[in-house]
Amino acid sequence: MEKVINRLLEKDIRLEISPEAKRYLAQKGYDPNYGARPLKRLIEREILDSLAEKIINNEVKGKQKVSVIVKNNKLELKIAHA
């Protein structure tokens, strides 16, 4: 996860996670039997994979802020264009 954050910083892409999105992640990613592993997979699947696609498709470029919000009970990436 740290490598991903460093790559985003290198590209000057800021990721902001709303309080609602944090609650969503805490609720959906919690499993007392497996610790943080389900949360890590959830973040990878619902945030990082989508962000990677947007970077590859040039929807997200350097010096942009990407907000993670909850919409219709799903996480969504909202891109702030400069």
CA pair distance 13, 5, nearest whole angstrom? 9
Residue type, 53: E
**What CATH number does the domain containing 37 carry?**
1.10.8.60
pLDDT of res. 27:
92
Structural domain range at position 40: 2-80
Return averaged pLDDT per consecutive 10 residues of the chain, 82 residues in all: 79 92 94 89 94 92 92 94 65
pLDDT of res. 59:
93
pLDDT of res. 82:
58
At residue 41's C-alpha, the angle toward residues 35 and 47, to 5°, is 130
pLDDT of res. 45:
94
pLDDT of res. 3:
80
What is the tally of structural domains in the chain?
Answer: 1
pLDDT of res. 69:
97
Cβ atoms within 10 Å of 54's Cβ, excluding its own: 17
